Amino acid sequence: MCRGLAALSSCLERAKQLKTRLGILLHKPELGHEAESFSTSEQGTKLRNSSEEALEWKKSFDHLLKSKNGVARFHAFLKTEFSEENLEFWLACEEFKKSRSKTKLSSKAHRIFKEFVQNEAPKEVNIDHETREITQKNLTAATSSCFDAAQAKTRTLMEKDSYPRFLKSTSYQDLTEQATSHSTSKRLHT
């Protein structure tokens, strides 16, 4: 039995490594256009505003998370890396905190836990065992803050890992080039 569990654990670890490698391989410039299509159907003004807004995202991770366009583009980028579960969990927690109905709070908490936090969850986030245990204990009397520890861990992971890669991505660099070239041409015409 132990031999089987050890093999399963090893297999799961290899699968996670493959997931990471595939994400890196798929993050080529020709695939970066998924995020670009977000604004291509919009009119010129909205596109300029979006690309100019993108310059703000570089200032801090908070600027990115406060921007609807920023979150959408960051999500598209994370999908190319097969790592969107952390952002989706963070967003689910933000929405969960807005819940006012105590009766729905518990069911929503259990749904989020099953989807993101529990071992082998469909969109399992990368948190340590202790945080997972604390979060599970918090479900016994669910409050709007029962995911705070897990949400903070995933936010830190995104800020330290995914966010810097996003800022270096071709899709983000192209967007900021548009903004920079637009502001340069604007100055030349005035």
Angle of helix 68-80 relative to helix 44-57, nearest 10 degrees? Answer: 80
| Average pLDDT value for the chain | 80
**pLDDT number for residue 2:** 45
Q: Which two tokens stand for residue 139?
A: 């479900």
Res. 30: pLDDT tops 60:
no
**pLDDT number for residue 82:** 93
With beta carbons less than 8 A apart as the criterion, state whether 70 and 59 touch: no
* 131 three-class SS: helix
Give the pLDDT confidence of 84-143 residue by residue, as tens digits: 999 999 999 999 999 988 889 999 999 999 999 999 999 999 999 999 999 999 999 999
pTM score, whole prediction = 0.71
